[in-house]
């Protein structure tokens, strides 16, 4: 439990590296069957889960001088092995690793995770990989654990991707399949994360063809990954909490370690903040956000960046008109139902919130102090509520702050470093 008090902010923050990029790098490194070097990785609960799983599979992974050295040249799995892999809370690891496992020798693999992970939908991906030769099953509810007894052959499938991680999984695994593959994607959310995966395939010189709308994909099989030396850039999802802090308080913050040329979708948060009245400037590796005296409300489609819903929703408390976040139904299938959880927390603080199937409308108003809210063991909800505490007279208590470790272990330290008045 943590109690936070209001404060204005100023200064600079170095943003930690991207979780999404770090996990993609780890998985490709493992299946390169050589030694890869990953510089400036994110070390957090989620990336530690990925590292642990790969070590269970036989990788040698060493962390020194802010660099991961990944050697997978001596994997010892055999066709007789039965193994259980626990991905913890990491949906990225669970979804992206799944198909890649189909190119390892084993008799049976069980892929599982923590309580939250075992509530997240996986059946569309199970069905797709069964089309592609992997004999797999999940629970009756369509969630992990997933049991795999077959291997990745390739072929043709169709899948609706209410999370982009389904398509990223197929993109990463199918180049290794025994045959060429064709994938139809009639529905796709979070497109920028697919672009991130494609950028890794391009760096690996993987041969594929994909339509401009990302709805039809052809990938040649029988390809391989090559050991590499890459540097991970700053994480825009993590940065969004500090972008929002400046917007919410009307203060100025400079965030360093970010690359505006990176394909991360949460860069789009900056466009929304500009539309709401913020001033944004950037240089080679830094971005400065200055909040206005009053934010503008409006309607914003955040389908491409559903992870931003918790942090953007708190801005609705101080807008000049209602803030409508829409076309983000996939926010309901993250670590928690983030639409429902954020709606409940904001109502507890005195705001009127209209919850929709695919979004929420937040009406501005005064906030109640001295309230205890739930973090729902969801790192992004915890961090969003911590940012909102900056403007709550009387302070705010969050029932459990530990889940922030999943993606942003230094969040509270960095937040404290830019407060002009320390918590009392």
Whole-number Å distance between alpha carbons of 90 and 334: 10
Whole-number Å distance between alpha carbons of 247 and 243: 6
Whole-number Å distance between alpha carbons of 67 and 17: 12
At residue 352, the 3 state secondary structure works out as strand
Do 224 and 48 contact (CB within 8 A), yes or no?
no
For 122, other C-beta atoms within 10 Å of its C-beta total: 27
Whole-number Å distance between alpha carbons of 36 and 76: 19
Do 203 and 232 contact (CB within 8 A), yes or no?
no
Residue 201: which of 180, 176, 179 has the closest Cα? 176
Residue 269: which of 208, 313, 217 has the closest Cα? 313
Rg (CA), the chain: 21
- Which token pair is 405? 């470790």
From the list 235, 262, 266, 307, the catalytic residue is: 307
Active site residue 307: yes
| CA separation, residue 111 to residues 137, 149, 272 (Å) | 10, 11, 38
User: Any idea of the CA torsion for 371, 375, 379, 385, to the nearest 10 degrees?
Assistant: -20
Residues marked active site are found at: 307
């Amino acid at each position: 439990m943590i109690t936070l008090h209001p404060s204005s902010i100023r200064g600079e923050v170095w943003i930690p590296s991207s979780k999404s990029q770090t996990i993609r790098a780890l998985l490709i490194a493992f299946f390169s069957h050589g030694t890869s070097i990953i510089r400036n990785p994110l070390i957090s609960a989620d990336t530690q889960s990925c590292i642990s799983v790969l070590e269970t599979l036989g990788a040698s992974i060493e962390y020194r001088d802010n660099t991961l050295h990944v050697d997978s040249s001596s994997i010892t799995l055999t066709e007789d092995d039965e193994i259980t892999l626990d991905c913890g809370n990491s949906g990225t690891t669970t979804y992206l690793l799944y198909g890649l496992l189909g190119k390892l020798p084993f008799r049976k693999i069980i892929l599982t995770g923590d309580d939250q992970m075992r509530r997240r939908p996986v059946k569309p991906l199970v069905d797709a990989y069964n089309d592609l030769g992997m004999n797999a099953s999940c629970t009756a509810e369509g969630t992990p654990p997933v049991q795999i007894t077959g291997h990745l052959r390739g072929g043709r499938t169709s899948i609706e991707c209410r999370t982009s991680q389904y398509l990223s999984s197929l993109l990463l695994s199918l180049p290794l399949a025994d045959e060429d593959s064709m994938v139809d994607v009639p529905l796709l959310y979070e497109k920028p994360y697919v672009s991130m995966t494609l950028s890794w395939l391009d760096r690996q010189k993987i041969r594929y063809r994909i339509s401009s709308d990302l709805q039809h994909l052809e990938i040649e099989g029988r390809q391989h990954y090559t050991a590499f030396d890459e540097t991970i850039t700053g994480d825009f999802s993590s940065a969004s909490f500090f972008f929002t802090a400046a917007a919410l308080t009307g203060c100025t913050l400079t965030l360093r370690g970010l690359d505006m040329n990176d394909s991360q979708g949460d860069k789009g948060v900056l466009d929304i903040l500009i539309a709401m009245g913020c001033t944004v400037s950037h240089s080679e590796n830094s971005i400065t956000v200055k909040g206005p005296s009053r934010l503008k409300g409006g309607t914003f489609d955040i389908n491409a960046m559903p992870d931003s819903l918790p942090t953007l929703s708190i801005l609705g408390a101080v807008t000049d008109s209602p803030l409508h976040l829409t076309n983000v139904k996939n926010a309901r299938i993250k670590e928690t139902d983030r639409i429902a959880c954020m709606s409940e927390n904001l109502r507890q603080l005195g705001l009127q919130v209209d919850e929709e199937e695919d979004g929420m409308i937040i009406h501005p108003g005064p906030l109640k102090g001295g309230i205890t809210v739930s973090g729902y063991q969801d790192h992004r909800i915890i961090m969003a509520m911590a940012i909102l505490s900056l403007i709550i007279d009387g302070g705010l208590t969050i029932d459990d702050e530990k889940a922030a470790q999943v993606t942003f272990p230094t969040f509270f330290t960095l937040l404290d470093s830019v407060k002009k008045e320390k918590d009392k």
